């Protein structure tokens, strides 16, 4: 255990003026990632304050506090090369998370996917926004 590690500025965790709305994704960087958990494919989403200026890999590492034991010691990889920022970035990242989860379920079956639940359920109110953002993102990748 290292007691001499860098301590993050605790003031960055508070948002007294509501400028970094967690529910909308404003003021955040977002990534979608894939890995193998318990021998099964896993798709996830992570975010970090944009003020931290982290890369996708650093955001994923932050999400798991640098401990990838659940993934057999191998860090999951980001599906996007760059961070996605703000509201649109969150919508895109969550849409990609659902997309790759469904891809894995179709390919391997629900019991052979490590996600315990559907990331964006069919009745989730923002599902349409997420899907539209994902489609726009994937169009630009072709």
Strand partners, 35: 42
Strand partners, 42: 35
Q: Does 125 map to a domain?
A: yes
Mean pLDDT along residues 19-25: 58
Q: Does 14 map to a domain?
A: no
Q: Does 55 map to a domain?
A: yes
Domains: count for the chain: 1
Mean pLDDT along residues 81-97: 93
Cα(59)–Cα(130) distance, integer angstroms: 20
Global pTM value: 0.82
CA 71 and chain centroid, separation = 15
Domain with 99, as residue range(s), is 25-141
The pLDDT tens digits for 101-114 are 999 999 999 999 99
pLDDT band (50, 70, 90) for residue 122:
confident
């Amino acid at each position: 255990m290292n007691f001499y590690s860098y301590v993050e500025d605790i003031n960055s965790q508070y948002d007294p003026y509501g400028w970094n709305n967690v529910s909308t994704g404003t003021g955040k960087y977002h990534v979608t990632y894939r890995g193998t958990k318990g021998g099964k494919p896993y798709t996830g989403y992570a975010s970090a304050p944009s003020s931290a200026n982290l890369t996708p890999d650093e955001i994923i590492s932050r999400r798991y506090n640098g401990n990838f034991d659940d993934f057999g010691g191998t860090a999951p990889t980001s599906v996007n090369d760059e961070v996605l920022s703000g509201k649109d970035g969150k919508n895109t990242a969550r849409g990609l998370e659902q997309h790759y989860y469904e891809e894995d379920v179709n390919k391997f079956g629900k019991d052979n996917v490590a996600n315990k639940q559907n990331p964006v359920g069919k009745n989730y109110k923002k599902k349409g926004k997420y899907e539209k953002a994902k489609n726009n993102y994937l169009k630009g990748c072709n």
